Amino acid sequence: MTLEGRIAVVTGASEGIGRGLAIGLAEAGADVILASRRLDVLEEVRSDITGRGGEADIMELDVTDLDSIRVAHHSLADRGLDILVNNAAVSVNRDAWKISEDDWKAVMDTGPKGVFFCSQILGSVMRDRGYGKIINLSSTLSRGVVPGASVYATSKAAISHLTRALATEWASSGVRVNALAPASTMTPSRAAGMTPEREANLEARIPLGRLGTIEDLVPAAVFLAGPDSDFITGQTLYVDGGWTARS
């Protein structure tokens, strides 16, 4: 699968899954625009991509700020946009009795709100050209839940449902909207705080017996971003080692 000649924006590309997906899309041939509030870290990601022979630019973007998204739209209007990966997210892991309004706002403003308005504003570039792929990052927690993830799980369920709604409305414009839903994924930041007991607990929930990796997610993202998935829209693709099947 090749993405040669495609322009892709990845939000939350400074670290973790966003960084990994950006690198994977670039290795598949896309010209990737790395979007985040952290320009200094994005420079590191760009250097990583160009060092591998890929193409990447950086863009300052706060997905909770509609003016920031509109500025991004202005820069893309002439250049074009083929692929949008809505990855930026905030996670709050806390007992539901202890969730504050600020916790709720942080998760929801970055999650469903950010995904919707990035899709609406940036996706209009795709609409005007009659073709595009939007990939929203959902989670296995959109289907099943674990203690301490009430708000995060709610945000991911909203994103999967929003994916279906936008796909239904925008199909006639040539814009396909799908979601990618990983199970627990081992990223550098997660690995740094992972205890053997916690890892064993997570692995026990996954029929394939291990945590996911970014390398597991990249082929699925490239598939959803490329022409081989042109007749797929409104779907949430679970890359979860069987977690949702067991749940």
Burial class from Cβ neighbours inside 10 Å (0-12, 13-18, 19+) for residue 195 reads: exposed
Q: Indicate which residue of 116, 152, 170, 243 is catalytic.
A: 152
Neighbours of 84 (CB within 10 A): 29
Q: Is 238 a catalytic residue?
A: no
Q: Which two tokens stand for residue 96?
A: 């539901």
Give the amino acid at 18. Answer: G
d(C-alpha 237, C-alpha 182), whole Å = 8
Specify the DSSP class assigned to residue 113. I
Give the CA distances from residue 230 to residues 174, 219, 227, in Å, rounded to whole numbers and listed in that order: 9, 16, 5
Positions annotated as catalytic residues are: 152
